[in-house]
Amino acid sequence: SLRHVHIHNFLAMSATPDTGSAVVFEMDIDKFTSPDSADPNPAVVINVPQTLEQRVAALEQAFVRRASLKRVPDSGASLNHVAAPNIANPAPLGLFGFSIATLCLAFFDMNALEPAFRISVGIMGFFIGGVAQFAAGMWMFHRNNTFSATAFSVFGCFWMATGFTIYLETTNSTVPTVYPAGKSLLNAVMTMVVFILFVATIRINKILYITLFFVVGVFGFNIGAPWTQVCTRIAGASALLCGLGAMYLAAADLINEVWGEKLLPELPASVHKHDFEPEARKHARPRRHWHKEVTAHAQI
């Protein structure tokens, strides 16, 4: 990536006119080359005229030139790797939040827990499934990870709303608890959203693909849950499976990153098979859910 930019004599030219000065951009050029030059080590040098307007125009031209630089990979290198960001990987936090909240609700829906535990499910869902996931989603935006940012943000908001609703229904007798049409509508909308995420996982990895498949089942069967207990039980079983899948993904993401080895397989799609190699985890951030052009990192 571009490491540093120096603008020589630009401010000095405003006070001391001279016959010719230059704006020079020094770059990390072992990975970049100019698209219209055979020189592998270019420097962007632009002679700046005397007037201030012309100098500003020349400076803008230099930035446009910088944005047009294209990345040239090393021999055998993969374009799926970009420089690691300066924040930790928030994916395990989001996945653990999703998994813990979903598993607790799954056991509750299958009548495996005491009814009094419902308020704990609501509180845990709000903070772990909601706040933690939403925070992970916001950090994923900073990591330029569109899929995870979208998924964690959506599920985080959903769990904050669900957890708060469960808490109110449990602690306040004036809050209505029977609104089957509204619950079915909410689950139908969430089914469509999760199905879109499910389609996107085809290009990521198979375990996430299977996990989202069961998430679609959770919301799909919950459409009929207000009218039949059978749908509630099936939705609970689907939630159990998707919660276990998310737990495995969180463990694999965390353990493999800390150990620097592929101890837990994640079965990536072929387009991302190099993203999960041990060397890639040590030296670069996998572009696991990022399908933009690599040149986007060189844009102004």
Per-residue pLDDT of the chain (300 residues; tens, 9 = 90+): 333 343 333 333 333 444 444 444 344 434 444 444 455 444 444 454 567 777 767 776 766 665 554 444 444 444 444 444 578 899 999 999 999 999 998 888 787 778 888 889 999 999 999 999 999 999 999 888 899 999 999 999 999 999 999 898 888 877 777 788 888 999 999 999 999 999 999 888 899 999 999 999 999 999 998 888 889 889 999 999 999 999 999 999 999 989 988 899 888 877 766 665 655 554 444 444 444 333 333 332
Comparing C-alpha atoms, which of 198, 208, 263, 14 is closest to residue 95?
Answer: 208
Which residues are within 8 A (CB) of 201 and not within 5 positions of it... i.e. 6 or more apart? Answer: 147, 208, 209, 211, 212
Place of tokens 């990390």: 28
Burial 146-165 (b: 16+ CB within 10 A, else e): ebbbbbbbbbbebbbebbee
The residue type found at 12 is A
Q: What are phi and psi of 268, to 5 degrees?
A: -70, 155
114 sits in which H/E element: none
The structure tokens listed for 27 are 């770059």
Query: Is the torsion defined by CA of 91, 97, 98, 103 positive or negative?
Result: positive
The H or E element containing residue 252 is helix 229-259
Residues 6+ apart with CB under 8 A from 16: none
